Structure 1
Amino acid sequence: MDAAVVTELRGQRIVRVLRAAFAVYGLIALLWIPLRNAGSADFSTADYLSYFTIESNILAVVVLLIGAVRDPQSRRWQLFRGATTLYMVITGIVYAVLLANVDVMLQDAWINTALHRLLPLVLLLDWVLAPSRVRISDAQSLGWLIFPAVYGGYSLIRGPIVDWYPYPFLDPRDQGYLQLAVTAVVLLLAMALMALAVNAVGRLGARRRYGEDR
Structure 2
Amino acid sequence: MTQRILSLIFALIGWFAVITQYYLMVKGNQISFTEATIRFFSYFTILTNLIVAVYFTFQAFSSFSIIKKSGILTAITIYILIVGSIYQIILRSTWNPTGLQRLVDELLHTIIPILVLIYWYKFENKRDLSYKQIPSWTIYPLLYLFYILIRGHFSDFYPYPFVNVTDLGYSQVFINSFWILVFFIGLSMLFVRIGKALSK
Question: TM-score, with normalisation over the residues of structure 2?
Answer: 0.86
Distance 1:184 1:95 in 2: 15
The residue aligned with 1:26 is 14
Q: Of residues 113, 117, 120 in structure 1, which corresponds to 2:110?
A: 117
Q: 1:120 is paired with a residue of what secondary structure?
A: helix
The residue aligned with 1:5 is none
The residue aligned with 1:159 is 152
Which stretch shows the higher mean deviation, 96-105 or 115-124? 96-105
Which stretch shows the higher mean deviation, 96-105 or 85-94? 96-105
Q: 1:94 is paired with a residue of what secondary structure?
A: helix
**Contact 1:138/1:196 (8 A) holds in 2:** yes
Q: Percent sequence identity over matched residues?
A: 27
Structure 1, gaps ≥5 residues long: 1-10, 208-212
Question: TM-score, with normalisation over the residues of structure 1?
Answer: 0.80
- Indicate whether 1:143 and 2:136 are aligned: yes
Q: 2:52 is paired with a residue of what secondary structure?
A: helix
Structure 2, gaps ≥5 residues long: none
Offset, 1:124: 1.2
User: CA offsets per residue over residues 3-25 of structure 1, 9 Å max, x none?
Assistant: xxxxxxxx5x2x32122112111
The residue aligned with 2:187 is 194
Which stretch shows the higher mean deviation, 134-143 or 66-75? 66-75
Q: Would the alpha carbon gap of residues 16 and 51 (structure 1) be closer, same or farther in structure 2, given more than 3 Å must change?
A: same
Q: Would the alpha carbon gap of residues 74 and 35 (structure 1) be closer, same or farther in structure 2, given more than 3 Å must change?
A: closer
**Contact 1:128/1:201 (8 A) holds in 2:** no
Distance 2:163 2:106 in 1: 23
**Contact 2:126/2:195 (8 A) holds in 1:** no
Distance 2:66 2:128 in 1: 11
Q: Would the alpha carbon gap of residues 152 and 40 (structure 1) be closer, same or farther in structure 2, given more than 3 Å must change?
A: closer
In terms of fraction of residues, the more helix-rich structure is 2
Once the two structures are superposed, the pairs formed by residues 7-26 of structure 1 within 5 Å of their partners are 13=2, 15-26=3-14
